[in-house]
Amino acid sequence: LFSSLTIHLVSFRDAMVSYDVRKWFSTWKCHWVGSVFQMACFRRAFCIACSSTFIGAALHVSTRSGLIPEHFFSQNVDNSGYASFLWFCGTLLVFRTSQSYGRFWEGTTLVHQMLGHWTDFTAVVFSFTKHSKQEEDRIRIFKH
């Protein structure tokens, strides 16, 4: 039944993934900045954020310099739009955080289940070696 089963021994170096440690610190040199600005969605969001910043700064400067009276905003601007926007952002943030939290705990549970299965497997394999008819040296090598 197991005559076609062959075991290939692989050296430790062949079994492991080799990493280039020098590339780990390349993010400190900000090589990723060029690739981030190439993404179209980031460019669009960056342009919208910059235009909103410039409009806000212009309104602030014009209010401080006296071009726009200070009571203009309190009389003409209703804050219900701002409140609705904040409610939307808060709801979006809560649901996204809740979804991420659920995914984290699902992944953690699966990892713990996997570790339990590995532990059970290892215990079963070692218990079979207790009653094996092989030589003691081969059993010791198998266990280690």
pLDDT digits (tens, 9 = 90+) for 75-105: 777 778 889 989 999 998 888 888 889 999 9
Least confident of 4-13, 60-69, 94-103: 4-13
CA–CA separation, 110 vs 119, rounded Å?
14
Q: Which residues contact 15 (CB under 8 A, 6 or more apart)?
A: none
Q: What is the CA radius of gyration of the chain?
A: 31
What is residue 135's DSSP assignment? -
What amino acid is encoded at 11 in this protein? S
Between 64 and 110, the more confident residue is 110
Rounded Cα gap, residues 17 and 56, in angstroms: 51
Task: Give residue limits of the domains in the chain.
Answer: 80-144
Q: Which amino acid appears at position 117 of this protein?
A: H
